[in-house]
Homo-oligomer: A and B are copies of this chain.
Amino acid sequence: MTNPTATLLISCPDQQGLVAKIANFIYSNGGNIIHADQHTDFAAGLFLTRIEWQLSGFNLPRDLIGPAFNAIAQPLGAKWELHFSDTIPRIAIWVSRQDHCLFDLIWRHRAKEFIAEIPLIISNHNSLKPIAEQFGIDYHYIPITKENKAEQEIQQLELLQKYNIDLVVLAKYMQIVSEEFITKFPQIINIHHSFLPAFIGANPYHRAFERGVKIIGATAHYATTDLDAGPIIEQDVVRVSHRDTVEDLIRKGKDLERIVLARAVRSHLQNRVLVYGNRTVVFE
């Protein structure tokens, strides 16, 4: 689909006629739906849907789509987001010393696996600066200590603002982001190198080895103020055995981290992820 599309992500109390009312809104305005998926959580009494249609031939100008849909959404008590496929989101990648997720995201970006701009890398170390230069991405070195964390986060927030960042990807940043920060900038995807909720916190591979698990995993989730407890977007696992040392777990885990983080970022950028409570619906 090269011609631009609009996508509505909607969640509202389950009730009769939702599919019809939403579809009619698109159809009556001459829109051609290219993707529609919905999910009803009967336990929660919640209806969630993603609907995408082509803008060419759609009768409403862009700036009127929101207000027009809102007239329908209000009486339904619906929460909704509207996205346009040609509005390119801007990503800041935060890293520490490890480069595998950074390299992977950059390669996928070049391969057009996801459509975004990556103007900014932030790190608490200098080690990955050469990669940033190699690919022409601004690199800001912001070391973190217990003492300076608060003020450094202010600097980080200023950078996100300056670069008009829509999404922060913690690509093995290995630092806890403060509650204050997340409250001010909630759009953060983190990759945790374990099959959450197993091994929350530090050194999951070492603890997985000590526990003698036969499978290890990785989890991509939205960062929340509760450590490693945010809504899970994607997880995957790989089999290990007694022959695998901690180093082997780390090596095998890197492949998981790259793929799981990439899938989560891609789903998010395609507006396929809808969060409700502490859960996600990922529309395929």
Interface set, chain A 12-63, CB cutoff 8 A to B: 16-21, 23-24, 26-28, 30-43
Query: A240-280, CB under 8 A of B: which get 1 and which 0?
Result: 01110100000100110001000000000000000001111
Interface set, chain A 207-233, CB cutoff 8 A to B: 210-215, 217, 231-233
Say how many copies of this protein the assembly contains. 4
Interface residue from B16, B23, B111, B241 paired with A20 (Cβ < 8 Å): B23
Measured in the bound complex, the distance between the Cα atoms of B40 and A104 in whole Å is: 31
A229 to chain B, nearest CB (A): 8
A237 adjacent to chain B (CB < 8 Å): yes
A195 adjacent to chain B (CB < 8 Å): yes
A13 to chain B, nearest CB (A): 13
Contact size range, A: 35 or more
A143 to chain B, nearest CB (A): 24
A37's nearest neighbour on chain B, judged by CB, is B37
User: Would you give 27 A-B contacts (Cβ < 8 Å), ordered by A?
Assistant: A16-B27, A18-B33, A19-B19, A19-B33, A20-B23, A20-B27, A20-B28, A24-B24, A35-B40, A37-B37, A37-B38, A39-B243, A100-B111, A103-B103, A111-B254, A195-B198, A195-B215, A196-B211, A197-B198, A211-B278, A212-B277, A212-B280, A213-B235, A215-B235, A215-B236, A215-B237, A255-B259
Extra A-B contacts (19), CB below 8 Å, given A16-B31, A195-B198 = A17-B27, A19-B23, A21-B27, A35-B40, A36-B38, A37-B37, A103-B103, A103-B107, A195-B195, A195-B215, A196-B213, A197-B198, A212-B231, A212-B277, A212-B278, A213-B232, A214-B232, A242-B279, A243-B284
Q: Which 4 pairs between the two chains have the least Cβ-Cβ distance?
A: A212-B279, A20-B23, A20-B27, A198-B198
